[in-house]
Amino acid sequence: MHSRKRYRNVIGVVVALLLWPQAGMAAERAKGAEAAKAPVSAERHMKNIKQLTFGRQNAEAYFSFSGNKLIFQSTNNWMKDTYAATLKPEEIGLGCYQMYVMDLESDQVRLVSTGSGATTCGYFFPGDRRVLYSSTHLSGPNCPPKPARDGPYRWALDNYDLFAVRIDGQEMQRLTNTPGYDAEATVSPDGKTIVWTSVRDGDLDIYAMDLDGSRHRRLTDDVGYDGGAFFSPDSKRIVYRASHPTDPAEIAKYKDLLGQRLVEPGQLELFIMNADGSGKHQVTSNGASNFSPYFHPDGKRIIFSSNVETRGEGGRPSFHLYLVGDDGAGLERLTFEGQFNSFPMFSPDGKRLVWISDRNAKQPGEFNVFLADWVP
């Protein structure tokens, strides 16, 4: 994206993590379990954990404004059924993500995207009757080609545009119309503003616009990637992830890859800015891959995913959820199960948490949606 979805998906830097190379994954999983710093019971902030999807890759699940629905992306093929039970994925999956809405009371899902191209970063509009997502379907019906994986991980900046559509998939509206990447869009809690990441001005920056796609304004202008933006509960601030190279050689490499519609997301730090782009300040500074940030309901802390404890160890790193103050103080680890936990979001009332995890995975590369009651 938000992703995150590959560190993101398809969606952005974070979605790419979902497609991390799987060679030796079983051995790494066993190693990670042995090296776990605490048992599952240490996940004291989460109770009544419920797994909502089963199989393949399911990512970036975000609550509706009412809190009774989720929008998420999946490589499960639920296109044939208007209402398909998540417990019964089709035998044949998809080559890339399509966008679905899940009713949390019935555990049923329905397709909201076109079924063509790739999609990422879904989000609800106020009223829960329409949703927002990014798609490549205007560039062709097939999944975009994936970059080669014979070196450092590189994420492709495919030709995504933003679309708004009713939750029955009808009355589609195109919100962006520029070449290149437009994705990682979210909506402010007050229902007035969309933020997203775009390459429209030659760099990967965060932009804002009104809900109807008007009044585009650029919020970031540092050289490098800025994305994965979410608003604070009062809609006055924005938290996001970023990578800003400073060394001339690093800047030249970044720009060269950008010209090839690629980005190499190794290190990401978290930042906060005001909703108009002013007052930027850095939250983390640990040299890790910190991403998928979201504000805690108190508006003073950030929940996010990071490999801060496993970076530099070699092999496939573990990503877990953490909580940190908006000043960077008071880091607390939240998850201990699995090797990948990311894309967290609190429900609008702050009582539940949804996130993506590979815990309980039956196959390498499997990621599912989980829901839990939040314990302060």
30: pLDDT strictly greater than 50:
no
- Per the prediction, the chain carries an average pLDDT of 88
pLDDT digits (tens, 9 = 90+) for 119-157: 999 999 999 999 999 999 999 999 999 887 766 778 899
327: pLDDT strictly greater than 50:
yes
3-state secondary structure of 241: strand
C-alpha of 34 from chain center: 28
Among 18-27, 71-80, 209-218, 352-361, the range scoring the smallest mean pLDDT is: 18-27
Whether the Cβ atoms of residue 60 and residue 15 lie closer than 8 Å to each other? yes
318: pLDDT strictly greater than 80:
yes
Q: For residue 75, what are the CA distances in angstroms to 11, 115, 119, 143, 297?
A: 14, 11, 10, 11, 31
Whether the Cβ atoms of residue 15 and residue 324 lie closer than 8 Å to each other? no
The length of the chain is: 376
Q: Region 76-85: what's the mean pLDDT?
A: 73
21: pLDDT strictly greater than 50:
no
pLDDT digits (tens, 9 = 90+) for 332-345: 999 999 999 999 99
Place of tokens 């949804």: 354
pLDDT digits (tens, 9 = 90+) for 162-174: 999 999 999 999 9
3-state secondary structure of 318: coil
Predicted local distance difference test score (pLDDT) of residue 148: 78
Return the number of other C-beta atoms located less than 10 Å from residue 57's C-beta: 26
**182 versus 33: which is more confidently predicted?**
182
Read off the tokens for 67.
């809190």
Element (H, E) at 343: strand 341-346
Residue 10: which pLDDT band, with cuts at 50, 70 and 90?
very low
DSSP letters for 57-104: BEEEEEE-TTSSEEEEEESS---S-SSEETTS--SS--SS-EEEEEET
C-alpha closest to that of 49 among 356, 362, 366: 356
First to last CA, the chain: 28
**105 versus 35: which is more confidently predicted?**
105
Predicted local distance difference test score (pLDDT) of residue 17: 42
Place of tokens 């400073």: 246
**28 versus 196: which is more confidently predicted?**
196
